Amino acid sequence: MLVLEGRAFFRGRLETLALGLEAGRILRIAKTLRGDAHADYGDRLVLPGGVDLHVHFRDPGMPHKEDFFSGSAAAAIGGVTTVLDMPNTEPPTASPGAYEEKLAHVRKKANVDFGLYGAIRSAADVRAFMGVAPGGKLYMAPTTGGLAVTDPASWSAVVRAAAETGLFTAVHAEAPDLVGKEVGRTLPAHDHMRPATAEASAIRALGSAAKEAGRPARLHIAHVSSAEGLAALARDTGADELMLSTLLPDREHRDSGDEHPRVAGRRQQREAHRAEQHAGHHGGQCLAGGDQAAHHYL
């Protein structure tokens, strides 16, 4: 048994403890323990590894932005020991065959534990990835990768299949008919082109589909960013879990716009914090996702 000593948060308080581990699991917690190996961290904190359910390591296909080695190394340095990578790579992870190819490609580069999402574009994809991938990702509006599913009938079919199979299904929820065609070059412009009403409308559509499915679906609404979106979740989504992500301005927004980027970033963090508090009131689970997404701008 490996014994780690240090300060740990246990039963509601921070105290100096010994943790006994075997095969990566905590077996015993006490003031003192004996084991085959021992490490004493003194007054330093002993923390569990973080799990980030939403990363974009851009591998394969975009190594000039990021690859699985650099992304997972950054995760490890930050204390994140498990990541789940999104499917909008080049090529996209859009079939079980593509999933296996990506798995073989990134496995040798990974510095932490990982999982891969499969791209969901139809109910058939939900069934194909069940038992293969830990989860799927449905994009309801255009974004990086060209995997958008813009037909409401297809959304309903995907939700029904998710309810039937139990596949963990993350959703980029924006109504495509309410999203602008241009790319916003500042934060205010981005807000204008991708308004909160688009998010709320898509969430309501998912809620209706979940009700029609007649059984719980493991739907996870990614990067909820507006009071309108949370209001839609609070009323009647039918989703049994809720994923919230705090997004900071990317490099494209740092030198332009009406707000200083740090002010804008803090504003978004504050909104996400309020969103988390609101979500707790309606009984949904709040899951942390970084939406780490490297971009390269010339």
Is 109 inside a domain boundary?
no
C-alpha dihedral, 114 to 54 to 247 to 173, nearest 10°: 170
Same domain flag for 14 and 90: no
Same domain for 273 and 129?
Answer: yes
73/13 Cα distance (integer angstroms):
31
Tell me: the pLDDT tens digits for 129-164?
999 999 999 999 988 788 999 999 999 999 999 999
Looking at residue 184, its pLDDT comes to: 67
Count of CB atoms within 10 A of residue 82's CB? 15
Boundaries of domain holding 263: 86-94+116-289
Specify if 229 maps to a domain: yes
What is the residue whose two structure tokens read 């241009």?
A: 182
Same domain assignment for residues 237 and 139:
yes
First to last CA, the chain: 51
Residue spans of the chain under pLDDT 70:
184, 236-290, 292, 295-298
pLDDT at 282: 45
Calpha distance 132→161 (Å, rounded): 15
Same domain, 135 and 40: no
Looking at residue 29, what is its pLDDT? Answer: 96
How many domains would you assign to the chain? 2
Cβ(119)–Cβ(87) below 8 Å: yes
**What is the phi/psi pair of residue 163, to 5°?**
-65, -40
Output the pLDDT for position 280: 47
Note whether 244 and 289 are within 8 A (CB).
Answer: yes
* 260 part of a folded domain: yes
Q: In this structure, what is the dihedral angle of CA atoms 215, 221, 224, 228, given to the nearest 10 degrees?
A: -30
CA angle 63, 64, 68 (to 5 degrees): 30
Q: What's the pLDDT score for residue 182?
A: 76
Say whether both 159 and 283 belong to one domain: yes
Q: Are residues 32 and 158 in the same domain?
A: no
pLDDT of residue 194: 86
Is 258 inside a domain boundary?
yes
Q: Are residues 123 and 213 in the same domain?
A: yes
| Residue 252 and residue 122 share a domain | yes
Cα–Cα distance for residue pair 285/95, rounded to 1 Å: 29
Distance of CA 97 to the CA centre of its chain: 23
Whether residue 251 sits in one domain with residue 159: yes
Question: Which pLDDT value is given to residue 236?
Answer: 54
Please tell me whether residues 120 and 189 are part of one structural domain. Answer: yes
* Euclidean distance between CA atoms 280 and 119, whole angstroms: 29
CATH of the domain at 259: 3.20.20.140
130 part of a folded domain: yes
**Residue 102 located in a structural domain:** no
Assess if residue 170 is contained within a domain.
yes
Same domain, 243 and 130: yes
172 falls within a domain: yes
pLDDT of residue 244: 43
Task: Say if residue 15 is in the same domain as residue 157.
Answer: no
